[in-house]
A and B are shown apart, each in its own frame.
Chain A
Amino acid sequence: MTRTHPYDRTFTPPMPALMVDVEDLVTGKRHSNELAIVDSGADRTNIPARVANNIGAQPVGSIDVYDFQGNFQGTKALYRVRIIIDGVPFNVRASETDGELLIGRDLLNMIYLTLNGPKLEFTL
């Protein structure tokens, strides 16, 4: 089953982004309707610290984060969470971020994703 979403036009240029739910794998506590950016440039899915805190997720490991220039950004927590996209759950080990939720290649490589730039919409 596929679903088409519009790009988020609040970004300049518009960005493939959609609302997802995030669930703690152990307790099942869920955070709903979090804006997630489809980011093939992110090695791994990132979840905001406030979301991890909201669902009571506990760190299961640490990960060293580097920016696009290879500069070390710090050691962040890894969480085992379930990202729910259009009702479909994906279990990932997500790293913590102070920014937005990024759907990284760990998750993107599990799905079919079609970007339709001219129409500013994407299908997954």
Chain B
Amino acid sequence: MKKQTLQNSHINTPKLEPSLYSPDIYVRVSHTDYFVEFKNLSVGEKQAFVDKHLDDFEEIFKLAVKEAIARRLESAVFNRSKIDTAKSIVIPSKNKNSMSGREEFERNVAAFKAMESQLKNDPKYQGKYVVIYKGQLVASGDDPDKLLSDAYQKFGYVSLLVNKVGEREKTRVYSPRYRS
């Protein structure tokens, strides 16, 4: 799907696999936002997200519908409070020019290690959680879950680190294994 097409058509319904079609599901795409409506429940994103993922828009919608079904959002339809608090869908990042997941992780780890001592000495970050994305510190705060959720809303479901400054997480595997 080309950028030009999206910009010229304010409302554009993408082609979906027949198996994903249902009278209960309505998908709308425009260049300013999108939403997926499943019965009376809708989830959506704003323009910045759309612009960021234009090249993968058709794929995004297939995923969004699958997500809506997988999360059984229909169970929330008859309870308004549940609808209001239903989690929005996080779309996997599909940037074809991006680094592999392994490379991205290693870049983020290297960036965190490089800035760690500086952060530890900065009162602004001491004891805080920081979000490292594409080798850059993009957010900080006290609540790692909220930081992660906010980052996914902003960047999609991507490789990133939410690490605590001054407290490197450690794990030990105690059980030695012997091979004959």
Chain A residues within CB distance 8 Å of chain B: 12, 26-28, 39, 41-44, 46, 53, 56, 58-68, 70, 73, 75, 77-78, 95, 97, 99, 102, 104
Contact = CB atoms under 8 A, between A and B. Distances in A.
Interface residues of B, number: 31
B160 A26 contact: no
B70 interface: yes
A64 B160 contact: no
Interface stretch (B38-46, B53-61, B164-172): B164-172
Contacts of B105: 59, 62, 77
A44 B180 contact: no
A107 B79 CA distance: 33
Contacts of A62: 105, 108-109, 112, 161, 163, 169
Interface of B: 63, 67, 70-71, 90, 92, 101, 105, 108-109, 112, 148, 152, 157-163, 168-177, 180
13 contacts: A26-B92, A26-B157, A27-B63, A27-B67, A27-B157, A28-B67, A28-B70, A42-B173, A58-B160, A59-B108, A60-B162, A66-B173, A68-B173
B171 A43 contact: yes
Contacts of B162: 60-61
A27 B89 CA distance: 9
Contact of A58 (B101, B169, B174): B101
Of A39, A43, A60, A102, chain B has the most CB atoms within 10 Å of the CB of A60
A78 B108 CA distance: 13
A42 B175 contact: yes
A58 B168 contact: no
A59 B100 CA distance: 12
